[in-house]
A and B are shown apart, each in its own frame.
Chain A
Amino acid sequence: MAKRISVIAVFTALALIFSYIEAIIPFNLGVPGVKLGIANIVVVCALYIFGVKEAAGISLIRVFVIGLLFGNAVSLIYSLSGAVLSIAVMIICKRLKLSVIGVSAMGGIFHNVGQLSAAALILNSSAVMYYYPVLFISGIVTGIIIGIVSLPIIKNSEKLRS
């Protein structure tokens, strides 16, 4: 049990470090709002190695800490709505027996959908919906990349489970 808690804590720290790396070196692909979301590797792995509660916990702690360190109230709302929708969809997809890559891709898509919906609500305008296609495709692509990276980690994680 103690080992499990420590490993989950290390995972949370890793998610924070990944977010920090992405904050200082943005993998800017030329389109505003498109990010690789490498912190999601940790969340996807935690979902398979530990379970639903642990993955959701790591994701939420990451959003709050990163929001407090680098963001403001508005950016926290965007990240939170993205993270909550993303983890919820990933949990459902895992129940529906999608593969790791599929779960990750759906998580990537709905992370963007969540943020876009929050932006539409805050701006009280449907104008942001023009970004829909761009963020959708980027969500699928980054989600698949994250899934491919997560797959070998999950397969080699027996020692972490016990």
Chain B
Amino acid sequence: MNKRDFIAIGVVVLLSVLGFVFFALKGSGGQTVKISVGARVYGTYPLSENRELKIKTDAGYNLVEIKNGRVFVKDADCKDKSCVKQGEISGGSIVCLPHKLVVEVTGEGDFDAVAR
């Protein structure tokens, strides 16, 4: 490896860190679960209420569960089940590419959430 390698990789890494910080500040933790399929918003639900959602689309189905302030995909009929493996989240997002499903935790947190 030469000097140019380190410069190129360094510049790219720096840009990515800046980009990630930007996204992290924009959408850090929250109180609301937003579920969207493609460009369409399927629905928004409070993170504090436990519930199970069966989301059926033309591509297939996903079983999303909200439990104790965390959200996760319990089951899906896709091949690789990446969305199930992504586990529980209380911030950020779970993405299912084959079904174009995005589960996102958004919204302003209250003081309790900040203190936690």
* B42 contacts A by Cβ under 8 Å: no
Known: A32-B85, A132-B16, A136-B13. A127 touches B104 (CB 8 A): yes
Residue of A nearest to B17 (CB): A133
In the complex, the answer to whether A99 meets B5 with C-beta atoms within 8 Å is yes
In the complex, the answer to whether A125 meets B102 with C-beta atoms within 8 Å is yes
Listed residue (A109, A123, A124, A126) with the most chain B CB atoms within 10 angstroms of its CB: A123
In the complex, the answer to whether A98 meets B16 with C-beta atoms within 8 Å is no
Looking at the assembled complex, report how far the CB atom of B38 sits from the nearest CB atom of chain A, in whole angstroms.
6
Known: A32-B85, A123-B102, A124-B38. A105 touches B5 (CB 8 A): yes
In the complex, the answer to whether B9 meets A140 with C-beta atoms within 8 Å is yes
Known: A130-B92, A132-B23. A99 touches B12 (CB 8 A): no
Residues of B within 8 A of A123 (CB): 38, 95, 97, 100, 102
* A88 contacts B by Cβ under 8 Å: no
* A68 contacts B by Cβ under 8 Å: no
Residues of A within 8 A of B39 (CB): 124
Residues of B within 8 A of A109 (CB): 9, 12
Known: A98-B8, A102-B2, A105-B9. A132 touches B20 (CB 8 A): yes
* A9 contacts B by Cβ under 8 Å: no
Residues of B within 8 A of A132 (CB): 16, 19-20, 23
Within the assembled complex, what's the spacing in Å between the Cα atoms of A133 and B22?
Answer: 12
Q: Tell me the residues in window 38-95 of chain B with beta carbons closer than 8 Å to chain A beta carbons.
A: 38-39, 80, 82, 85-86, 92-93, 95
* Residue from the list B80, B93, B100, B102 in contact with A32, Cβ < 8 A: B80
Q: Tell me the residues in window 88-112 of chain B with beta carbons closer than 8 Å to chain A beta carbons.
A: 92-93, 95, 97-98, 100, 102, 104
